[in-house]
Structure 1
Amino acid sequence: MAIPGGTHGLGLGLCASLLLSLACTSLQTKKLEATYGPTESIIEVVAVLRRHVPDDTYRFPPATDFTGRNVYRSSLLRLENIERIQADPLRSGYMDPVINFAKARALERLRAYELASLHYQRVAERTGELQDPARTSASVCRRIVDALSVGIHLENPLDPPARSPGREVADPQAVVAELEERVALFLFLHDELEGNYMQAVVAEEIERADEVRAGYFVNRRHIFADGALLAVTELQRVVSRHAASKNRLRHMIALANLYDDLAREYVGASPPESLDFDPAQFQDLIDPAAQLYESVAAHDGTPEKLEAARRLEALLAFTLQVDNDRFSN
């Protein structure tokens, strides 16, 4: 005997059971996500960072994430955000070695070597697979810090001026000697790190030391004897020594800017309408500036192209004004 509505009732029962099962499964999934969510997020950040740790950031610009931000800076910020948001699940410290190691990897690419060394030391204090790599990396960071303690650094124009000229003006040879010592320390470390990703970081510090040396003479070219010649020579040295650098176009623009500044200073001291003006000397400053700007402006797809093109236009306008002053007055 058939039961009226039996099939319909059975279907409703199955649907109810299925919905209950899905609800339980969904609840279990949410619990699992709540438990393992921080770990999954950290692993995701570490995976992105690990992919770019071997990058040669001396020759090529740092990689960017999907937001267009420096991948090392964005990874550091994401790790810090995870630590803050997921403080309770991470309270046990089970992910501390991974987090500290990853943050150290990011910090050393951001020139925060002391902070990177501190994070590596925290990892080295705990037994695990990361202990030995952390000790080695901490040692490298400390050696970089020690090398950076030798010699002067680029001046911050927003800092208050010094009350006295100091040794930097009185003894330029000592300044150069200290910067050469810093570079020698970096070169020795660079050779020791053969095949290690930190070679690129050390190469960047060598480049920066050469930039500091050139900037020192450029900023004091009005003080030293033959200051203009020394400044040009030092910037030419940076351009030639770091032709493989990602900053090579910036170095060329810096040299062109110096020639441009010298030409304008020369015109200010020797007006074109006066007999003191020497067209040959003026041309010796204008020609290399124009050639450098033209060379940089030929590199498509770079920010330096736009800057060099605009500066070249300004330089040509300046030379036209000089010619006009010479022959119209």
Structure 2
Amino acid sequence: MAAHSLTRNLCSSHFHMQSHRPSQPLLFENCCGFPISAELVLRSFRRNRCNRFGLRACVQSHKDNCSNGSLGTNAKGPTPVRRPQVLNNVEIDLVDGIDRRYSTTVQGEPQWGNPLTFHDLSSRGKLVVAVDVDEVLGNFVSALNKFVADRYSSNHSVSEYHVYEFFRIWNCSRDEANHRVHEFFKTPYFKVGIWPIPGAQSTLLKLSRFCHLSVVTSRQNAIKEHTLEWIDKHFPGLFQEIHFGNHFALDGVSRSKEEICKSLGATVLIDDNPRYAIECAKAGIRVLLFDYENSYPWCKTETEDLPPLVTKVYNWEDVEKQLTSLVLSS
């Protein structure tokens, strides 16, 4: 729906409101493509002398036409009006900013046409974002730690995992640690014991409207099939591509995350590993270093020691804010 058509449609309709408010907020989602609470809508409406509601930005004639309950119109035709700001939040700011950027002008008058929604941004070039799997999408370490405790009576808390080199935590050889991890891959601890990080699913769904999302994981090729199944189960249809670095593998060639991100044209990486973050930042890739609720001991690199392109984030809400800000400022 064109923005000016939306304005006319809203102006020519009256909203009869009851004296009491509903127990649950009403949602208006037909016009803008995402839910709008009734309270926010009401802020942009005012009561006229017919005891009805009209948009504050609508243009009326000299007098309200109460006899037929409709708003008057200018004899010379509709007067250009400022588009009503029904919402005042990050999503509207984002859409409005991009809408203005790509609007065209005909004979000096703004022609808004179809206002862009997040899904429309594919034709304009979405922000290319690479997303890690373990500890960013799912809780790998806690599942592995439970397996090691049950299978080897090696009891540790997740807070002890100050590095991602597990042999240092388990006090065993590197080969023994690799063996334990690959044994873990064959068990239900791995196959059904890893759950999505809170907020990841809902946030990625929103981000997919203005970001081109791909998975870039250091996981081994040996668990590729299960990883693909897990992603498809918990994050269906959200990722355009899925790439495996095959790090710490018993066989096969490894690829660095920097190399994979460059091949994708990714400008942002979301990862929990400071080493990968620093490597990618040095290559000019912006990194959101994910430390969920400040609970990842391996992610405790001091902020002043991080390159300027690395930003610490502590949950998926932080991720959404950072990426939205990048889109608005680009």
Q: Please confirm whether the aligned pair reaches a TM-score higher than 0.5, indicating the same fold.
A: no
When the two structures are superposed, what TM-score results if normalisation uses the length of structure 1?
Answer: 0.20
When the two structures are superposed, what TM-score results if normalisation uses the length of structure 2?
Answer: 0.20
Report the structure, 1 or 2, having the larger helix content.
1
- RCO (CA 8 Å, sep 6+): is it higher in 1 or 2? 2
Larger radius of gyration: 1
Report the structure, 1 or 2, having the larger strand content.
2
